C-alpha cells in the first residue's frame, strides 16, 4: 500500500492530493530532480518491526502439528512475509523514487497488533502500514506507484506456481511446500490491496486507469481461485 504524506506531517497519513510539475521550468530551463536519501533509521525500524510481527502472525496461521517443528514453520512464515510484504512495499518505494519522490515505509503498529490477535483465530489481516510518498506527481504516476505493490505480489506468485502446482522432476517436497506458502501469502496480499476503497492501492489504480484496474483484478482473482481450488 502506498500513500502520500506532507512534509510537515511526517508521521500522518493523508489522502493523495495530486499536483503537477514542469519537466522544464516555465522559462524553458531544465529543473533538476531532487535527490532523497535512500532510507532512515525510522524506516529500517518500522520494516523490521512489521516483518517480525507479521512473521509471527503468519506462523500461527501456518502451524500444524505434523512433526516438522516450530523452526520450520517460523522460517517458512518469515520467508513468505519477506517475499510478499517486503517486496510489495519496496516496489512502491522504487517506483516512487523513480519519479523523484521521497518515499519511506511507516508501520501501523495498531494494525499489526490486530493482525497478531486475528492470527490466533487462523486468519491473517494484512494491513501492516504503508509507504508514505511526497513529491510532484499526478494521478497517472500515483496509479503506477500503487500498481507496483500488487503487481510485484502477482509476479512472485507466478514464479512460485510451477514449483507448487506441477510435479517438476527432482524438486524436493520441501521446495514445493515453500513455494505453496509464498504463493498463498503473495496472492492474498496482492488481491487484498486491490480493494477499490481508500487507502488501498486499488482505489488509486482505479482512479488512474479503469482498464488497468480490471485487468489486474482479474489476474489476482484467477490466481486467488487457483490458490483455493
Sheet containing 102-107: order of strands: 2-4, 129-134, 102-107
Which string of DSSP letters, residue by residue, matches 129-158?
EEEEEESS--HHHHHHHHHHHHHHHHHHHH
Q: What is the value of pTM for the model shown?
A: 0.78
Per-residue pLDDT of the chain (229 residues; tens, 9 = 90+): 665 554 444 433 333 333 333 333 334 444 445 567 888 999 999 999 999 999 999 888 887 777 777 888 888 889 988 988 899 999 999 999 999 899 999 999 998 989 889 888 888 777 788 899 988 888 899 999 999 999 999 999 999 888 777 655 566 677 887 888 888 889 988 998 999 998 889 999 999 999 999 999 999 999 888 877 7
Contact 159/32 with Cβ under 8 angstroms? no
Q: How many residues are listed for the chain in this entry?
A: 229
Find the catalytic residue in 43, 89, 104, 141.
89
Domain positions in the chain are 2-18+36-228
Is 89 noted as a catalytic residue in this protein? Answer: yes
Amino acid at each position: 500500500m502506498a500513500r502520500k504524506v506532507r512534509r510537515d506531517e511526517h508521521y500522518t497519513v493523508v489522502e493523495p492530493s495530486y499536483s503537477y510539475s514542469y519537466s522544464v521550468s516555465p522559462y524553458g530551463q531544465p529543473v533538476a530532480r531532487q535527490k532523497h536519501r535512500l532510507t532512515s533509521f525510522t524506516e529500517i525500524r518500522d520494516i523490521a518491526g512489521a516483518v517480525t510481527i507479521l512473521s509471527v502472525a503468519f506462523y500461527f496461521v501456518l502451524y500444524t502439528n505434523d512433526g516438522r517443528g516450530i523452526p520450520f514453520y517460523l522460517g517458512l512464515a518469515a520467508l513468505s512475509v519477506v517475499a510478499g510484504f517486503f517486496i510489495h512495499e519496496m516496489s512502491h518505494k522504487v517506483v516512487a523514487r523513480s519519479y523523484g519522490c521521497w518515499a519511506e515505509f511507516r508501520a501501523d503498529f495498531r494494525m499489526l497488533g490486530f493482525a497478531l490477535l486475528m492470527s490466533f483465530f487462523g486468519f491473517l489481516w494484512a494491513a501492516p502500514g504503508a509507504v508514505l510518498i511526497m513529491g510532484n506527481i499526478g494521478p497517472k504516476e500515483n496509479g503506477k506507484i500503487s500498481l507496483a505493490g500488487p503487481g510485484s505480489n502477482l509476479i512472485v506468485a507466478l514464479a512460485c506456481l510451477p514449483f507448487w502446482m506441477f510435479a517438476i522432476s527432482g524438486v524436493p517436497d520441501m521446495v514445493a511446500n515453500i513455494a505453496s506458502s509464498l504463493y498463498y501469502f503473495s496472492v492474498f496480499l496482492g488481491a487484498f490491496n486491490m480493494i477499490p476503497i481508500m487507502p488501498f492501492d486499488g482505489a488509486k489504480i482505479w482512479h488512474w486507469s479503469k482498464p488497468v484496474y480490471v485487468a489486474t483484478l482479474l489476474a489476482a482473482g484467477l490466481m486467488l481461485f487457483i490458490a483455493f481450488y
